[in-house]
Amino acid sequence: MARKPSPSRSSLASQERSTFPELRLPVDRAAALEIYDTTLRDGAQAEDVSFSAEDKVRVAQKLDELGVHFIEGGWPGANPKDIEFFRMIKTIPLKHATVIAFGSTRKASNSVRKDPNLQALLGAETKTITIFGKTWSLHVTDALGISLAKNLELIGDSVAYLHSKGRRVFYDAEHFFDGFKTNPDYALNTVRKAVEAGAERVILCDTNGGTMPWEIRKMCEIVQRECPVPLGIHAHNDCEMAVANSLVAIETGIVQVQGTINGIGERCGNANLCSILPNLELKMKRPALGDRLSHLKDVSSFVTEIANLMPNKHQPYVGDAAFAHKGGIHIHAVLKNSATYEHVDPARVGNRQRVLVSDYAGRSGLLDKLEAYGIKLSKDHAKVQELVDTLKERESQGYQFEGAEGSFELLMRKAMGTHKPAFQLLGFRVIVEKKQEDGAPLSEATVMVKVGGVVEHTAAVGAGPVNALDHALRKSLEKFYPQLREVKLLDYKVRVLAANKGTESKVRVLIESGDHKDKWGTVGVSENIIEATWQALADSIEYKLLAKE
């Protein structure tokens, strides 16, 4: 055993002196990497995220398809929902991943056999358990209120007890980097205690997310000379460094990287596996998932949907805008050679190249979009400039087609004279009535449309004027077009375009609609929010029927 921990900061020479000289291992930068996902535990601690036990099972299955090695399912000692997850997941066959239960070292007042947390970890019946302990002396004295020596005892007892029960134990050194900067000898002693007790992995945690990459590199190199078992990295993103810190740690020889899908997690989030994994595979040439990397965008979208979050379209690699091109010069070049403005092939991560429709796009972008819609024109065709001018005029009025490609396709087909409207609006009326101050308002919409030679006049009520108008329009058209019953309104956004005019300002309404197999966006612009909504709703219906044709 090395000397007792010192409460004072040691010199660099002391930091670098090996406490396990006979077990010192060389850094192997070609060693196989372990991908450890903690979306279901650390990710579930994010604001606005709440997974049911069934949600967690579905996400675990997706992660297994992706090929991650470890899935941290939750903390069975913390809540009944996680206990239910571990019960359910035992019946689900997984091909690639090992499910792990997570918890803490025993409480100072409990023996290992009487500690509820340790017993719950064993009750989860996972082959591998991850437990965390205090590394930073500040947390030992101020948070736990115990001595440094007592904390070492908790770590050793807890790891040894779980190990004696036949479990493989990973040890999370919580606040390791903050602890090392304050008292390096004690931080290393906590790691030593866990290893001596049987921990097979030690994960260095940047729990507060405040460490810089150059600090991570130096400290990881020191710890690797001190620790005889493989190390992992668990980084939080409070300084926007979680991905960088994880990659730097791996470059030094650390073999296990922990993170979450889309980087969700407490405060500013965790290291984002959707960035780490392609960086490892495509930039650092470190095999992690192989061909399964192409499932990454699908998994990212799935977790976003299950977590009921808005997708981050600007997220690297997997965001819808990651390979989207808007500037005319960019579009002109990327259509000739995608490498001009794309650092990797988007298909490698399951994404795709997108050419955005806007007044920046120019002829090249417009021709590419027209061809996608089956409209082929030469670059010098008279209609091309007319279409460019139409697009620019619409955008000057406040229309935005980047997220409303359904409306754009209809606009193009109308300009080409190839679109046959599915219905004709004869009129609509929306009434909002409130009879009592503390009562809910009543919204009613009346719509009159003409389909062929038949006039249909219907009315409907709704939770609000938009909902009522939507109901009335569908009610009037579904007898002619029963496929409209498949359509659902998925998202509704309103943007004020000229706030300096106050309540007279123009608004832009963006609607996302979908059916069982597709999603599309439509747009409307007007000083009247109901009129703008009508434009977007009508386009949504027209686009669905256009797709049916």
Dist. CA 261–CA 280, nearest whole Å: 15
Side by side, which strands form the sheet with 519-526? 488-496, 507-514, 519-526
> Looking up tokens 């919409």, which residue turns up?
445
Q: What does the domain layout of the chain look like in residue ranges?
A: 31-306, 324-390, 424-548
Rounded Cα distance between 401 and 525, Å, is: 11
Residues β-bridged to residue 131 = 103, 171
- DSSP letter, residue 94: -
Tokens coding 54: 């069934």
Q: How far is CA 541 from CA 395, 400, 486, 493, in A?
A: 22, 19, 11, 17
- The reported pLDDT for the residue numbered 91 is 94
Say if domain 31-306 classifies as CATH 3.20.20.70: yes
Residue 549 CA from chain centroid, whole number: 35
Nearest to 458 by CA among 434, 479, 486, 484: 479
Sign of CA dihedral 75, 77, 81, 82: positive
Helix, strand, or coil (residue 544): helix
- Does residue 543 contact residue 520 with C-beta atoms inside 8 Å? yes
User: Which parts of the chain have pLDDT scores under 70?
Assistant: 1-31, 357-365, 368-369, 372-373, 402-403, 499-500, 547-549
Q: Tell me what pLDDT residue 504 has.
A: 79
CA–CA distance, 397 with 84 (Å, rounded to integer): 54
* Ramachandran angles phi, psi of 304, nearest 5°: -60, -45
Angle subtended at Cα 342 by Cα 367 and Cα 398, rounded to the nearest 5 degrees: 50
3-state secondary structure of 151: helix
Which amino acid, one-letter code, is at 289? L
Q: Which residues contact 286 (CB under 8 A, 6 or more apart)?
A: 33, 250, 280
CATH class belonging to 424-548: alpha beta
User: Within 10 A of 513 (CB to CB), how many other CB atoms are there?
Assistant: 24
Quote the tokens at residue 380.
């010098």
Question: Phi-psi category of 302—alpha, beta or left, where left has phi over 0 and alpha has psi -120 to 50?
Answer: alpha
Residue 114: exposure state from Cβ atoms within 10 A (0-12, 13-18, ≥19):
exposed
Helix (H) or strand (E) holding 203: strand 201-206
Instruction: Please state the three-class secondary structure of 513-540 as a single string.
Output: EECCCCEEEEEEEECCHHHHHHHHHHHH
| The pLDDT of residue 8 | 39
Q: Of the candidates 328, 353, 349, which has an alpha carbon nearest to the alpha carbon of residue 338? A: 353
Q: How far apart are CA 212 and CA 224, in angstroms?
A: 18
For residue 75, CA distances in Å to 81, 119, 259 come to 9, 12, 16
The pTM score is: 0.71
User: E strand or H helix at 545, and its extent?
Assistant: helix 529-548
Question: How long, in residues, is the chain?
Answer: 549
Nearest to 357 by CA among 297, 312, 410: 410
Instruction: For residue 361, list its beta bridge partners.
Output: none
Annotate 247-303 with three-state secondary structure.
Answer: HHHHHCCCCEEEEEHHHCCCCCCECEHHHHHHHHHHHCCCCCCHHHHHHHHHHHHHH
Q: What is the pLDDT of residue 145?
A: 94
Run of H or E including 460? strand 454-462
Q: How many Cβ atoms are within 10 Å of 255's Cβ, its own excluded?
A: 17
Give dist(CA 387, CA 248) in Å, integer.
50
**Number of Cβ atoms within 10 Å of the Cβ of 471:** 20
Burial code of 166-188, b = ≥16 C-beta within 10 A, e = fewer? ebbbbbbbbbbbbbbebbbbbbb
Residue partners of 167: CB distance under 8 A and separation at least 6: 122, 126, 127, 128, 129
Q: Which residues pair with 205 in a beta bridge?
A: 234
